[in-house]
Structure 1
Amino acid sequence: MAKLRVAYEYTEAEDKSIRLGLFLIVSGIVSLFILGFCWLNPALQDLQGKAANCTVLSVQLQTGELFECTFSCGADCKGTSRYPCLQIYVNSSEAPQARALLLHQDQQQLLANPKCSYIPPCERENEKNSDIVTHWQDYWEDEVGSQPFTCYFNQHLRPDDVLLRRTHDESVLLHCFLWPVVTFLVGVLIVVLTICAKSLAVKAEAIKKRKHS
């Protein structure tokens, strides 16, 4: 009876280990697909932009049209205010022909407002938003001026725009593949070790029976 109970407990532990291993294998595969579609695809689009040398052609503050932004002043306090549109036109060494390209802070701001080069941190008062944009205008006119700087240009995705910085870098690719693959390999390792342990236990039991017979 004791031997049967020990064998039952051993089998139950094996089943739990195999279920854990299979769960990790499935989790690794599913997470790889989720990260691939939700995170890896936009990261790859961002990384396709080539690093180039850009120089400022013109800095224009469009005061006639104001854009809305959403500010937060607490847990249950939100509202909208407005800011003027700053347009910074540059030329890029990677552009196929010399033409004015609109500069954007990053991919997120480009998608949020493709008409403007800068979206300020949204304040409640419109005047504060205007002051922030004006300060940014002075920075590009006075401090940057005609000095070349690094920008990122994607001729196929956005031929009329350049980015000042990338939202993602190569580490995103590493994390997208590393953790799902590690989870998958740990699951496979658990299943393989459990099967090997069971196989060794069966062989050891067979050897004992041969010795006693």
Structure 2
Amino acid sequence: MFLWAGSKVAGGQSDQSSVYLRIRENDVLDRRKTETALRAGEDRAVLLGLSMVLLSVMMYFVMGITVLRSYSDSVWTDEVSCTVLNSTVVGLVNCSYSCGPECRRSSSYPCLQVYVSLNSTGRVLLLLHDEETQDGDPQCFFTPKCHRDQAAASALVHNVSERLASRHSVRCFVDPTERAYSAILRRVYDRAAVFHSLFWPTCTLIGGSAIIAMVKLTQYLSIVSERHRRIKT
């Protein structure tokens, strides 16, 4: 009877130990699965952060050679009050437009010349629409898109001419050194354009850096927590 009871107790202890081992093995497996999933998520987060940092660097490069360079090269920096002296069409300018693959046709548009007088100095300058007009056709106020319908281009130019002639005074930008013989009506690359060109790359850079820093901080805190857990056990 005693032997049977002892064997029963020993069998119960072995069953309990086997159950404990199974529970422990399940816990270890669950922990490993969780750690694997966390590492995969951390790797994806780091990859996302690095991609955002790389994208921001590329955006800085592109904006630096386009917007920032154009802003620094612009000589029309002073905004003054100008009086419109005349707004007339002086002739036609030949242009070409695409009519399909490897197909070009010729057309023309009226050349509108606008002269203004600076209210502060009385200096007479040729008025252009923006900086890009200086690179295209510096003798005309603006360059309309070249297309087949010449009547539409003429109507657009005459509409702009009438609107300028009806305005006695306008705000224009001039060269403070007086080396440029023209003024522009508006600046394409101003401080607002520079701000927006730098704002979004900066946000992308900060976001990517923050993601990487948070992942590294999480990994460090996880290591510290695991060390404390081992010390206690």
Amino acid at match of 1:124: R
Q: Does 1:124 align with 2:148?
A: yes
Q: Secondary structure at the match of 2:181?
A: strand
The match for 1:101 is 125
TM-score norm. by structure 1 comes to: 0.77
Amino acid at match of 2:80: A
TM-score norm. by structure 2 comes to: 0.71
Measured against aligned partners, the alpha-carbon deviations of 1:96-150 in whole angstroms (never above 9, x if no partner) come to x543211112222232110112434545254554454445444444x23xx2221
Bigger helix fraction? 2
Report 1:111-190 matches (<5 A): 111-126=135-150, 129-141=153-165, 143-144=166-167, 147-156=168-177, 159-190=180-211
Q: Secondary structure at the match of 2:139?
A: coil
The match for 1:11 is 39
Looking at CA atoms only, which structure, 1 or 2, has the larger radius of gyration?
2
The match for 1:200 is 221
Q: Aligned pairs, how many?
A: 205
The match for 2:68 is 40
Task: Kindly indicate whether the alpha-carbon contact (under 8 Å) linking 1:20 and 1:187 is maintained by their aligned counterparts in 2.
Answer: yes
Q: Per chain length, whose mean CA-contact separation is higher, i.e. which structure has more relative contact order (CA < 8 Å, sep 6+)?
A: 1
Moved more, 5-14 or 15-24: 5-14
The match for 1:23 is 51
Task: Kindly indicate whether the alpha-carbon contact (under 8 Å) linking 2:87 and 2:164 is maintained by their aligned counterparts in 1.
Answer: yes
- The percentage of counterpart residues that share the same residue type is 26
Tell me by how many angstroms 1:52 deviates. Answer: 0.9
**C-alpha separation between the residues in 1 aligned to 2:55 and 2:151?**
50
Q: Secondary structure at the match of 2:188?
A: coil
Moved more, 28-37 or 72-81: 72-81
Bigger strand fraction? 1
Task: Kindly indicate whether the alpha-carbon contact (under 8 Å) linking 1:92 and 1:153 is maintained by their aligned counterparts in 2.
Answer: no
Tell me by how many angstroms 1:43 deviates. Answer: 3.9
Amino acid at match of 1:204: S
Report 1:60-75 matches (<5 A): 60-63=88-91, 66-71=92-97
